[in-house]
Amino acid sequence: MKRISNTRKTRKAITLVELIVAMALTAMFATACIALILPITKIYTETNKISRSQLVADAVVDALRAECSKTIVTDTGDVWLYNPADYDGKVLTDAQVDPSYEKGTVLVLRRNSTYCETISANYVISDELVQKVREKDMFISGADGSGNVTSKSVYNISSDDAAEGYVHFGYFMSGAVLTKGFTYIYPYDYFDYTNPYTKDSYMGYTVSLYFHDIKYDSDLKPVYVLCDVTVEGESGAVCTRSVVLCFS
């Protein structure tokens, strides 16, 4: 009994002062951890954002290179830049053909002897444009006009994909106008629109395209153009990729 009594006498409880000190130390440790975690989290978020934007830029660059490589070049006017502030994806008149732009947001190029193409990301493919495409390319099969209505168009872009900030490929029947000593092709009648990627592929970003510095060979045929692909988020530009787009 005496031994048990001595053991009980040696036990100590945590005092209020010790508890306060322990809580203070814990708070200091937690503050230090937060001070370390916050910048690490910020770095991870920024790195992840930049990585995703670079993937978008790479995908857009690949699509542009593939599309421009199909260009048919026979004359100086088979490729030119268009830079009006109000371009909305519609057809042009011969009076609107102005090859004097050295820089532009729209690239016009020859697809073959009958069709041309515009590449841009600065307009919305509106319902009006969709309707015009369908009106132009629908026809009725059967000599008596009693057959089925069919369409040559492959247009299948959703309203989300048709928004400004996504790359649009516009296909048109091409016209030709003689200006500045050369014959320039231009989109004079509707045919179709398409996108290389859907909205989901942009991972919450949009893009802007800026074409400049077309280079010509000794025969004055366009060889390549430079393009700045800017990937933009809610707070502005995230990354910019410059690329050479060759016509061959």
Identity of the amino acid at 123: Y
Q: Could you tell me if 93 and 188 are in contact, meaning their C-beta atoms sit under 8 angstroms apart?
A: yes
Structure tokens at 183: 């014959």
Between CA 58 and CA 61 the distance in angstroms is 5
* Residue ranges of domains in the chain: 52-246
**Contact 107/81 with Cβ under 8 angstroms?**
yes
Separation of CA 127 from chain center: 20
Rounded average pLDDT over 232-239: 89
Question: pLDDT tens digits for 79-135?
Answer: 999 998 888 999 999 999 999 999 999 999 999 999 999 999 999 998 888 888 877
DSSP string, the chain: -HHHHHHHHH--PPPHHHHHHHHHHHHHHHHHHHHHHHHHHHHHHHHHHHHHHHHHHHHHHHHHHHHHTT---SSTBTEEEE--TT--S----GGG--TT-SEESEEEEE-SSSEEEEEESSS---HHHHHHHHHHHEEE-STTS-S-EEE-------TTTTSTTS-EEEEEEEEEEEETTEEEEEEEEEEEEE-SS-GGGGTT-EEEEEEEEEEE-TTS-EEEEEEEEEEEETTEEEEEEEEEEE--
CB-count burial class (<10 Å; 0-12, 13-18, 19+) for 14 = exposed
Taking the C-alpha atoms of residue 117 and residue 135, their distance in angstroms, rounded to an integer, is 19
Write the Ramachandran bin of 140: left for phi over 0, alpha for psi from -120 to 50, otherwise beta. Answer: beta
Sign of the CA dihedral running 31, 35, 41, 42: positive
pLDDT for residue 189: 92
pLDDT greater than 60 at residue 14: yes
Asked if residue 42 has pLDDT above 90, the reply is no
pLDDT tier, 6 (very low <50, low <70, confident <90, very high otherwise): low
Mean pLDDT for the chain overall = 85
Burial 44-66 (b: 16+ CB within 10 A, else e): eeeeebeebbeebbebbbebbee
And the tokens for 228?
Answer: 């700045």
Better pLDDT: 11 or 180: 180
Residue 239, beta-bridge partner list: 231
- Predicted local confidence at residue 1, as pLDDT: 46
pLDDT digits (tens, 9 = 90+) for 161-200: 999 999 999 999 999 999 988 999 999 999 889 899 999 9
What Å distances lie between residue 59 and 5, 68, 122, 151, CA to CA?
80, 14, 18, 30
pTM over cut 0.85 = no
